[in-house]
Amino acid sequence: MPNERVTIRTPDGDCPMDVLVPPGHGPWPAVILYMDAGGIRPAMRDMARHLSEAGYVVALPDLFYRYGPYGPFVPREVFAGDFRATLGPLMATTDPQKAAGDTDAILAYLDTRADVAGATVGAVGFCMGGGMALAAAGRNPDRFAAVASFHGGNLATDAPTSPHRFVAKLRAEVTIAAAENDGSYPPAMAERLEEALTQAGVRYTARIYPAAHGWMMPDFPVYDAEAAAQGWDALLALFRRTLPGGPRASA
């Protein structure tokens, strides 16, 4: 599976990005994968590869580029210690609004690729990336056909950069996949986000998985293989429904 390493120029600096291309001959629809707080590491690239093998050109930007070199981290080791002290300084360099701005450069790069089909793309984010995906699609509503958040946290807060503030302009179909008993996404917050989506007339589905926050990440201690398989099925079904030129629903 081809894995290209490119650098895209944003207003805040140079952002490294992995680009994974399916086997065979394109063009294929494109998907942007917004990373979790663990940053770019083998497991994150494996997830991007899984998407690519399903028939998508996958852009995996390193949104900690403002921080500088780091890791790669091993989540089981990070969570065994003070993970906030380790990851907090990196997380402080970005937020949903900054990631949405970075997405302008990502989209401009994808527009240069002859192997990308069509102008509309999909987005998926995990943990902190869930809010980034929503914000990016709200900033560029004409460019996103589908957005998915998996165990996204802080999706509807009082912060000016809260992801729910971006949904009024969404045209994408949205999937919100939440974890059971997730302190970063309690029921009141879920209600607030869903109310914002409903008021905006967004087509969306929301599901609570009987798993812990981070269940989709294969290198997390809480990884749940059965729930993760269900999550991937839901994500790929979303992309098949919404992205032109991609695998058909019967594939």
In a domain, 250, yes or no: no
Q: Which domain does 21 fall in, by range?
A: 3-242
State residue 59's pLDDT score.
98
Percent of the chain with pLDDT over 70: 98
State residue 249's pLDDT score.
41
Pairing of strands 30-34, 144-150: unpaired
Structural domains of the chain, count: 1
State residue 1's pLDDT score.
55
In a domain, 35, yes or no: yes
In a domain, 101, yes or no: yes
State residue 227's pLDDT score.
97
In a domain, 16, yes or no: yes
In a domain, 116, yes or no: yes
With H, G, I as helix, E, B as strand and everything else as coil, classify residue 5: strand
- Residue 27's Cβ-side half-sphere holds a number of Cα atoms within 13 Å equal to 17
In a domain, 248, yes or no: no
**The pLDDT of residue 248 is above 90:** no
Residues for the chain: how many in total? 251
Q: Please state whether the predicted TM-score (pTM) of the whole model is above 0.75.
A: yes
In a domain, 251, yes or no: no
33 neighbors 41 (Cβ within 8 angstroms): no
